[in-house]
Amino acid sequence: MRIQQLRYLEKIAATGSINEAAKQLFISQPSLSQAMKELEKEYQIQLLYRSKSGITLTDAGREFMNYARGVLDQVNLLDQHFGQEIVRKRVFSVSAQHYAFVVHAFVEFVKEVGGDAYQFTLRETQTENVLDDIQTLKSELGVIYINAFNKTVMMRLISDKNLTFTPLFEVQPHVFVGRDNPLTKKTHVTLADLEDYLYLSYEQGDTNSFYFSEEIQSTLPHRKQILISDRATIFNLMVGLNGYTISSGIISSELNDEKIVAIPLDVDDVITLGYLRHRKMDLSRAAQLYLKMLKAHIRGYGFEVK
């Protein structure tokens, strides 16, 4: 086993593609494939599962990658300590539903540990993609919510994908609206108050199940509705069309959310926000530090972290 083979495997796991990994590593695709075959032969295990949709790690591959990252981290420390010219970049990825507090903590994380060389990834994506990213090790951490409506389905999926869900904090649902929306005159709103307003929600792709919705009360009918794929657009439509969405209530003014107001929603429901991780993987030091910053940011908004 060579250190370079471990770096190759790490890149394949990150990109999900032999061809893309070879491009980023500046080697030929046959050379990379051969290196992986030799590694699999040496340890007599199948590390990679090849399909039409791309390359993913097998269960054995995920466990192997867990140990490999530990080895690569130690090599990186040696390179830094003894002044090698080529230093392995810090690598960390997080996937999440669309939450400003996740982005804010990520900004603080990059400022704190980025240094001169790093490759970090933040994926604001659909709910099913968050689960898949953690299962396939594209990301170490995922942030989603669970409530009474989706809990049974989501926890079964989390278990089936060999993941764990750890609660961070609980919030009462809030309605997000533009600062000039007439609803801002209310101290709280009811579902009846929202009937005449445009409902904005995040699309969930082909698996557009109610259980994957990022908004509670997703089964209710709406006369006016627009599906959106990104957080910037949903905020623009709140302001431009007097639309609303339902979320956690945390708004980050430091990330240009000053035009949005959160109003408590009068419903008998509680949102539990938490993080996902792979059951068989130990969290890297980077992931542990990000979690620490995420919790500190949540506490800064007055919430009690579990």
- What's 73's domain CATH number? 1.10.10.10
Domain count, the chain: 2
Q: What CATH number is associated with residue 264? A: 3.40.190.290
Regarding whether 56 and 25 lie in a shared domain, the answer is: yes
Q: Out of 62, 86, 110, pick the residue that ends a domain.
A: 86
Domain residue limits at 7:
1-86
Q: Out of 31, 60, 86, pick the residue that ends a domain.
A: 86
Tell me the one-letter amino acid at 78.
L
Q: Which of 115-124, 161-170, 272-281 has the lowest mean pLDDT?
A: 115-124
Structure pTM? 0.73
Regarding whether 63 and 132 lie in a shared domain, the answer is: no
| Mean pLDDT estimate for the chain | 88
Q: What is the mean pLDDT of residues 126-152?
A: 92
Q: Out of 42, 57, 86, pick the residue that ends a domain.
A: 86
Regarding whether 15 and 123 lie in a shared domain, the answer is: no
Regarding whether 101 and 244 lie in a shared domain, the answer is: yes
Cβ neighbors of 141 (< 8 A, separation 6 or more) are 94, 95, 134, 275, 276, 277, 283, 287, 290, 291
Q: What is the mean pLDDT of residues 248-273?
A: 83
Looking at per-residue pLDDT, the higher value among 278 and 51 belongs to: 278
What does DSSP say about strands 271-278 and 54-57: parallel, antiparallel, or unpaired? unpaired
- Using the structure block, give the residue that is written with the tokens 């107001």: 261
pLDDT(245) > 90: yes
Helix (H) or strand (E) holding 112: helix 100-113
Note the pLDDT tens digit of each residue in 190-216.
Answer: 999 999 999 999 988 776 578 889 888
Regarding whether 127 and 67 lie in a shared domain, the answer is: no
Q: How confident is the model at residue 97 (pLDDT cuts 50, 70, 90)?
A: very high
Regarding whether 293 and 218 lie in a shared domain, the answer is: yes
Q: What is the mean pLDDT of residues 20-36?
A: 88
Q: Give the alpha-carbon dihedral of 288, 149, 169, 238, to 10 degrees.
A: 100
Note the pLDDT tens digit of each residue in 98-136.
Answer: 998 999 999 999 998 877 778 889 999 999 999 999 988
Regarding whether 27 and 112 lie in a shared domain, the answer is: no
Regarding whether 300 and 163 lie in a shared domain, the answer is: yes
Regarding whether 101 and 159 lie in a shared domain, the answer is: yes
pLDDT of residue 214: 87
